[in-house]
Amino acid sequence: ALLNLTADKVSYQPTDKSTILAGRRAHFGGNLSLTYSDPVMLVRGWKHHLFDEWGRPYLDAYNNVPHVGHAHPRIQAVAADQLRRMNSNTRYLHPAQTSFADKVLSKMPDHLEVCFFVNSGTEANELALRLARAHTGAKGMVTPDHGYHGNTTGVIDVSAYKFNANGGVGPSDWVELVEVADDYRGSYRRDDPNRAQKFADLVDPAIERLQASGHGLAGFIAETFPSVGGQIIPPKGYLPAVYDKIRAAGGICIADEVQTGLGRLGEYYFGFEHQGASPDIVVLGKPIGNGHPLGVLVTTRAIAESFAQGPEFFSTFGGSTLSCRVGTEVLKIVEDEGLQENARLRGTDLITGLKDLKTRHSAIGDVRGMGLFLGVELINADGTEATDICAYVKNRMRDHRILIGSEGPKDNILKIRPPLTIDAEGVAMIIESLDHILTELD
């Protein structure tokens, strides 16, 4: 099949690179191409492969959206079928929506019974904040200081993170930031057996401050594994301990699973399962639509009914028939093709290979993650964050036809996040190329 996928040759118009960059940055902030010294345009995809405008293949080890791979024939089929039948269903109920809700809820703990459909992870997080506030009548939110929940004003307020072009927004005085539970660089390290509880205890003064301020406590919002903040896996037990404190103070616990949900973690379908935590609201995005605009919020009946007193919640495109059909198919394909298990197996191979590289290359400070949610922290000789080395490695990986990203406050953590279809050959390519490039640096 790959042979048929050679991209059409497109005529290349030589253009001043700075003009392209300025334009693309304005329209496509966060585009990986911009982090390269020489941008790459990708025009086709197949499974975990991408092809540039010259038909050259790249391994996609960065795109955290298409769990089931690019251009999956079953996604193409349901999308085409739905477009033939009905495109918009803003005002009426459609079986695509009810089937999708049933499928999503089948993956959730029993107490989560209601789905809201929107167009993105950002919107779903915005809605989560409003529901928490409507339900509690309070405004204050507690959130880890390395969070990322999207790009609109409401969520930037609780993201407080440099990757947002935030225009001066946030954090407001009703947002309390607490130190993220990073046991590699944070206040409590991996050799401390009580670090989960110690990180969780940082929430106590934050709750007290909100209660004293008059804003009150609406809840706690966090990615179950902070991603943009540095691919951080909190020590087991951290979230349940925080959730207990938040609930005891009357707040709602929101789990952002936009990056971590739907099998990427291999051993766990969701990050909250790894933590043994029971959220009141779960937010899904990115892979749920495999590239189609779709965000989902799942919550309890009681919280959902907080909106029943006022105007109806309405989103014109949220839960479009097209997105719902695609979303249902994504969840089925992950099951039918054993992609969660593939994430576990390939993730284990990757972690083993990366840990082996760490023993041989001093530029690797930490290898962390699970399944296909992986981070490689690059450091300088003095142990400080190696932003420049990271930028260099990303560019050189591209020369090896592998696309990877980077994250973290100092942008020094390589982020390996391929579609869940990646195979043993792809894993070997990543390890061998990284080995080669780090050897150049030694």
Q: Which residue, among 48, 66, 5, has the nearest Cα to 401 in the 3D structure?
A: 48
Question: Is position 125 an interface residue for ligand PMP (rule: CB under 6 A)?
Answer: yes
The site string for ligand PMP over 75-114 (x = CB under 6 A, - otherwise) reads ----------------------------------------
The residue number whose beta carbon is nearest to ligand PMP equals 121
Max CA pair span of the chain: 65
Nearer Cβ to ligand PMP, position 146 or 215? 146
Gap between the Cα atoms of 260 and 272, Å rounded: 9
Contact 386, 401 (CB under 8 A): no
Nearer Cβ to ligand PMP, position 235 or 405? 405
Contact 263, 339 (CB under 8 A): yes
Question: Is position 126 an interface residue for ligand PMP (rule: CB under 6 A)?
Answer: no
Question: Is position 227 an interface residue for ligand PMP (rule: CB under 6 A)?
Answer: yes
Beta strands in 224-311 (DSSP E): 252-256, 281-284, 295-299
Question: Is position 412 an interface residue for ligand PMP (rule: CB under 6 A)?
Answer: no
**Is there a cis peptide before residue 409, judged by omega within 30 degrees of 0?**
no
- Binding region for ligand PMP (CB under 6 A) out of 94-102, 170-178, 221-229, 334-342: 221-229
Q: 32 CB contacts (<8 Å, ≥6 apart)?
A: 62, 403, 405
Residue from 183, 223, 280, 411 in contact with ligand PMP (CB under 6 A): 223
Question: Is position 420 an interface residue for ligand PMP (rule: CB under 6 A)?
Answer: no
CA distances 136 to 176, 222, 308, Å, are: 17, 18, 14
Question: Is position 63 an interface residue for ligand PMP (rule: CB under 6 A)?
Answer: no
Gap between the Cα atoms of 160 and 139, Å rounded: 17
Residue from 180, 228, 350, 374 in contact with ligand PMP (CB under 6 A): 228
Closest contact distance (angstroms) between CB of 294 and ligand PMP is 9
When computed from its CA atoms, the radius of gyration of the chain, rounded to whole angstroms, is: 22
Residue from 149, 215, 245, 346 in contact with ligand PMP (CB under 6 A): 149
CA distances 193 to 197, 198, 199, 209, 235, Å, are: 9, 10, 12, 28, 9
Residue from 45, 140, 150, 405 in contact with ligand PMP (CB under 6 A): 150
- Binding region for ligand PMP (CB under 6 A) out of 236-244, 253-261, 314-322, 346-354: 253-261
Q: Calculate the CA dihedral of residues 7, 10, 15, 20 and round it to 10 degrees.
A: -50
Question: Is position 62 an interface residue for ligand PMP (rule: CB under 6 A)?
Answer: no
- Binding region for ligand PMP (CB under 6 A) out of 1-9, 222-230, 310-318, 320-328: 222-230
Q: 246 CB contacts (<8 Å, ≥6 apart)?
A: 142, 203, 207, 217, 219, 220, 252, 253
Residue from 45, 121, 229, 251 in contact with ligand PMP (CB under 6 A): 121
Q: Which two tokens stand for residue 149?
A: 């929940």
Neighbours of 236 (CB within 10 A): 12
Q: Which of residues 261-300 bind ligand PMP (CB under 6 A)?
A: 285-286
Residue from 120, 224, 275, 340 in contact with ligand PMP (CB under 6 A): 120
Closest contact distance (angstroms) between CB of 120 and ligand PMP is 3
Closest contact distance (angstroms) between CB of 435 and ligand PMP is 29
Question: Is position 328 an interface residue for ligand PMP (rule: CB under 6 A)?
Answer: no
Residue from 126, 157, 256, 385 in contact with ligand PMP (CB under 6 A): 256
Nearer Cβ to ligand PMP, position 223 or 377? 223
Gap between the Cα atoms of 247 and 238, Å rounded: 14
Alpha-helical regions (H) of 162-311: 195-201, 203-213, 238-248, 271-275, 301-304
Q: Which of residues 297-316 bind ligand PMP (CB under 6 A)?
A: none
Question: Is position 415 an interface residue for ligand PMP (rule: CB under 6 A)?
Answer: no
Going across the sheet that includes 49-52, the strands are 42-46, 49-52, 57-60, 402-403
Nearer Cβ to ligand PMP, position 145 or 434? 145
Nearer Cβ to ligand PMP, position 222 or 430? 222
Closest contact distance (angstroms) between CB of 366 and ligand PMP is 20
Gap between the Cα atoms of 347 and 233, Å rounded: 15
Contact footprint for ligand PMP (CB under 6 A): 120-122, 125, 148-150, 223, 227-228, 256, 258-259, 285-286
